[in-house]
Structure 1
Amino acid sequence: MFRINFSFFTVTSKASLFLLVGLFTFSFCSGQSRGGRGLVSFGPSSGLADDTLYLDINQDIAVQLMPFDDIMKVAVSHSPLIKYQNEVSNSLSSSYEVAKRQILQNVAGFVNYSTGDQSIVSSGSASIPGRDALGQISNGYRVGVDVRLPLYDLFGRKHQVKQAYSNYKASVIQRDVVELQLKQSLIGIYQDMITTQQLLKINLIDEQASLTALRVAEVEIQKGRTTADALALITSRYVQAKTASEQVKGNFLKNVHYFEALVGMPIQRLKRN
């Protein structure tokens, strides 16, 4: 929760009241920590353990973070959706390569070794009467290739290859679609984060002014210079301003965490060096 530091002065006149308002300065912090360079810790107020976000509320987010194009590159490299789509594309690319070479399954080679009684070689005759011709084959190795070409491969294989290639190209295009959707989501969250930061700065100014008026009214009622109704009205105005700033702060923190989830990296690592 934001804590607003203020100084307390005793008001003696209307002129002092204006001087008091002019002298008030405010700083915003959450939890118990504030950096030496004006960095504000939002993490403890979000209720998340070990989650501390250091940003300078008075400096635009777009100035504190690296350029959007660089952030988009980081998001693409870390996005699980895009990683998944890359794996799908790799799988379909392999399927396409297999489809192109599938015709080789109809080609088979063989090697064997046969033995005989050398009768063909010794007699010089193709066969000897009364002897088994198979037993007259000379010893040695035989090597050959068996090629079979089914009609399906002859007329359908080119369509199968085309289908595999189309599936692969579709997966590549789908990756581009996922990347475009990621960019659209990132642009929306990035702009919402910038907008809520500006609203937060405005609401914090309003909250501080309302708190200043409340402190002055508390001093005035102690001195009998104002009424309880006036104090109640000023208190109600401060409560409204505080409520509005807390709501805007919550929206700002949600946008920051959504942004981190889309990019896949803590916002501290996205800040400019």
Structure 2
Amino acid sequence: MKSQKAPVIIEQTQESFDLKIPPLDTLIAYALRTSPTLKMQESLMRKNSYLIKSEKSRWADAIATDITAGFGNQSLLVQQPTGDITNFNNFNNGYRVGATLRISMYDLFGRKNEVGMAVSEYEESRHKKDMLAKEIVSEVTSLYYILIASKNIMQIKSEAKHATALNRNMAEKEFNEANIHVAELSRIIEISSKAATEYEIAKQELYKNIRIMENIVGVKLF
């Protein structure tokens, strides 16, 4: 895995200091589009949607039919006046077909409850997705203004660093020319060092907030 490079920030002068942070709406759109949590929730919604369709289609399970077929001689036995018994073929001779319809009362009346539960699960997953989206919007919005403040603070610290560095260079020159005492030079060097340290801390804080924002929105910003 390649290490990420720090954002390039030119710090020589106030005019050259520039770090363009994308608009808040753009960052929110990035975050909503790339969020793994939202993608998982959308998959759950699709699953529950298929479950609703499945439960609705299972109403046919409540109905079952049995079909029977046969062939036989349905002739009647008729006694003749002479006393003989003969067969009398009627329309009942031939094929016979029968059907039995069976209905599951549980599936017939309980299916509505099963569908209702599937619908409730879908609605629950949909509301959870909305909730997660709002949390992401809040998180990105909060970090956005933190990032803006970090940038401004770093710019202030950069100006202080360069101002004190310039003052230090002048003090060292004056000290070399014996125009100021060593105590004054030490005081100016201490102020310059403190300003440089505060600048580095501010820069580190800005870099950290940039990386956090990039992790949330899922794209490289700088």
**Aligned pair partner of 1:257 in 211, 216, 221:** 211
The CA deviation string for residues 81-129 of structure 1, in whole angstroms up to 9 with x for no partner, is 11011011111111222222232222235678x7x7x652xxx5279xx
CA distance in 2, matches of 1:125, 1:201: 111
**Aligned pair partner of 1:167 in 114, 118, 121:** 121
Superposed, 1:20-169 pairs within 5 Å as: 49-54=3-8, 58-59=17-18, 61-62=20-21, 65=22, 67-108=23-64, 119-120=72-73, 124-125=74-75, 146-150=101-105, 152-169=106-123
How many angstroms does 1:236 deviate by? 0.9
Between the aligned residues of both structures, percent identity stands at 21
Partner of 1:208: 162
CA distance in 1, matches of 2:211, 2:203: 12
CA distance in 1, matches of 2:127, 2:41: 10
Is residue 62–residue 107 contact of structure 2 (8 Å, CA) maintained in 1?
Answer: no
| 1:221 and 2:175 aligned | yes
**Aligned pair partner of 1:190 in 144, 148, 157:** 144
- Pair 98,246 (structure 1): closer, same or farther in 2 beyond 3 Å: same
How many angstroms does 1:239 deviate by? 1.4
Segments of 5+ residues of structure 2 without an aligned counterpart are: 11-15, 78-92
Is residue 108–residue 147 contact of structure 1 (8 Å, CA) maintained in 2?
Answer: yes
- Pair 102,119 (structure 1): closer, same or farther in 2 beyond 3 Å: closer
- Pair 170,210 (structure 1): closer, same or farther in 2 beyond 3 Å: same
TM-score of the superposed pair, with normalisation by structure 2: 0.78
Is residue 60–residue 194 contact of structure 1 (8 Å, CA) maintained in 2?
Answer: no
How well do the aligned residues superpose, as a CA RMSD in angstroms?
A: 2.8
Ranked by relative contact order (alpha carbons within 8 Å, sequence separation 6 or more), the top structure is 2
CA distance in 1, matches of 2:130, 2:114: 25
Aligned length: 201
- Pair 192,143 (structure 1): closer, same or farther in 2 beyond 3 Å: farther
Give the structure with higher Rg (CA): 2
Is residue 89–residue 172 contact of structure 1 (8 Å, CA) maintained in 2?
Answer: yes
The CA deviation string for residues 182-212 of structure 1, in whole angstroms up to 9 with x for no partner, is 0000001111111110111110000011111
Question: Which residue identity does 1:77 align to in structure 2?
Answer: R
- Pair 162,215 (structure 1): closer, same or farther in 2 beyond 3 Å: same
CA distance in 2, matches of 1:145, 1:201: 87
